[in-house]
Amino acid sequence: MSALTHCFVVPAYGKSPYLGDCLASLGRQSRPSRVVVFTSTPFEGMEEYVAKFGAELVCHGPNKGMANDWNYALRGVDANWVTIAHQDDVYGRDFLARTLDGIDQYPDAKLVFTDYCERDERGIRPVSLPLRVKQAIIRFATMGGGVAASPAAQANLLRFGCAIPCPSVTLRRQLAVGLGGFGTEYRVNMDWDFWLRIADEPGGGFVHCRGVLMEHRIHKGSETTAGIADGIRTAEDRSLFRRVWPTPIADFLAFLYRLTYRYN
Q: Residue 87: which pLDDT band, with cuts at 50, 70 and 90?
A: very high
Per-chain mean pLDDT for the chain: 92
> pLDDT of 103-134, one tens digit each?
999 999 999 999 999 999 899 999 988 899 99
Average pLDDT of the residues in 182-209: 96
Query: What is the residue extent of each domain of the chain?
Result: 6-263
pLDDT of residue 223: 56
> pLDDT of 16-42, one tens digit each?
999 999 999 999 999 999 999 999 999
Q: Using an 8 Å Cβ cutoff, are 32 and 8 in contact?
A: no
Task: Please tell me the CATH superfamily of domain 6-263, with its number.
Answer: Spore Coat Polysaccharide Biosynthesis Protein SpsA; Chain A (3.90.550.10)
pLDDT of residue 65: 87
The span from the CA of 114 to the CA of 94, in Å, is: 11
Adjacent-strand bridge partners of 39: 12, 59
> pLDDT of 209-253, one tens digit each?
999 999 999 877 655 555 554 678 899 999 999 999 999 999 999
Residue 206: name the closest of 240, 179, 256, 168 by CA.
168
Residue 8 vs residues 22, 41, 57, 168, 245: alpha-carbon distances, Å: 11, 19, 12, 11, 35
| DSSP secondary structure letter of residue 110 | S
Amino acid present at 210: R
Map residue 236 onto helix, strand or coil.
helix
